[in-house]
Amino acid sequence: MKSIEALSRACCLCALAVLGAPVHADTLDEIREANNACLAAVKTGRVQYICESQESETGLSPEAARALAKALASRPEELAVAMKKVELNLERRERVAVYFNAEAGEWKRISSDLRNLERMLAKESLPLEKRASLETSNIELVGGDVLAHFDSASRCLLVDRQAPLPAGTSPILRSPVPFGVVPDYFFQNILSSSIEDSSTNGRAVLRVSLEAPEGKRVLEVDPQIGYHCRQLDLYSRAGELGIRSTFGDYRLVNGVHFPFAFERSEYNSKGDIKRYQKIVVESAEFNHPLPPDALQLALPARVPILGLDRPYQFLLTHDQMLRVDELRTLIDTEDGGASPTTVPAGAKNGG
């Protein structure tokens, strides 16, 4: 159990950082506690950002993807399905809105596809009305061990289980919001550690090296913003850089230091980038009341609800709003099987 003195010290470090006072942690525990204290202060939130990502290792080249899109342009009903096979070869650009309730352990992610394949399909002189039909949106609702994903193109809700978080980890860190906070489990099972003064982009930071059984973790944390991350590198057991995350443009939002710029690169064994993601935050607010439907899914009638780990299927008879607990009740029901089960409006079970 953390001592009252240690927690008090962590809160003081975080508070001084918010005020802009120079502070310096003397031990790894103080950095850990400062991050936990800052994270615990966030109860609810809404964040909107533009996300660009790229995947380089797939089996279909961009040229082949363009040819496939052109061939299917006259068959829009097949195009969305085909694009799922090639989208990783292309740049993705999405506008994302995330709502979360940390105390309930729930969050919802709404994404609109801004990539829209316009640059690719414009080269093929595809009419604008057909390009517009390629836009899709996706909604994810997560709570505890339940993950639900609704794709507007397929008009199907997939519900699945997810692994539990490491003990003591805030549910916020599973949400698709790059907080820049060092996860508490990063400080667990450490074989050795070191802290030294350093700098990044002209800013004074502390460089923290953590030797773990699965590989080295190197953090650059900024004392001026509650020891949030400026850069995080994860290495393999062989000493190869696997993932580099950078956090920048920190702003004080409702008393919380939050990065408005984030980049993440994953590397292959040759040191080449195989996955890349860039996030630019447009707006953020914390600890404000959420809209009543922020953590619900609005589903139209006749949408199938499919399970990934069990052969069950449900159909909604009416338009309705579903919460995480209602989805959990559906997938926990014993009424599974190959034939669909109709779920009346307002029902909280599978029959």
Residue 84, pLDDT score = 52
117-153 burial code (b ≥16 CB/10 A, e <16): bbebbeeeebeeeebeebebebbbbbbbebbbbbbeb
Any bridge partners for residue 92, and if so which? 53
End-to-end Cα, the chain, rounded Å: 45
pLDDT digits (tens, 9 = 90+) for 262-280: 999 999 888 888 888 999 9
Residue 212, pLDDT score = 92
pLDDT digits (tens, 9 = 90+) for 136-152: 678 889 888 888 888 77
Residue 195, pLDDT score = 92
> CB within 8 A of 134, min separation 6: which ones?
79, 80, 83, 113, 116, 117, 121
pLDDT digits (tens, 9 = 90+) for 32-54: 888 888 888 999 999 999 998 87
Measured at the alpha carbon of residue 124, what is the angle toward residues 61 and 86, in degrees to the nearest 5?
A: 30
pTM value?
0.75
Q: Which of 95-99, 105-109, 295-299 has the lowest mean pLDDT?
A: 295-299
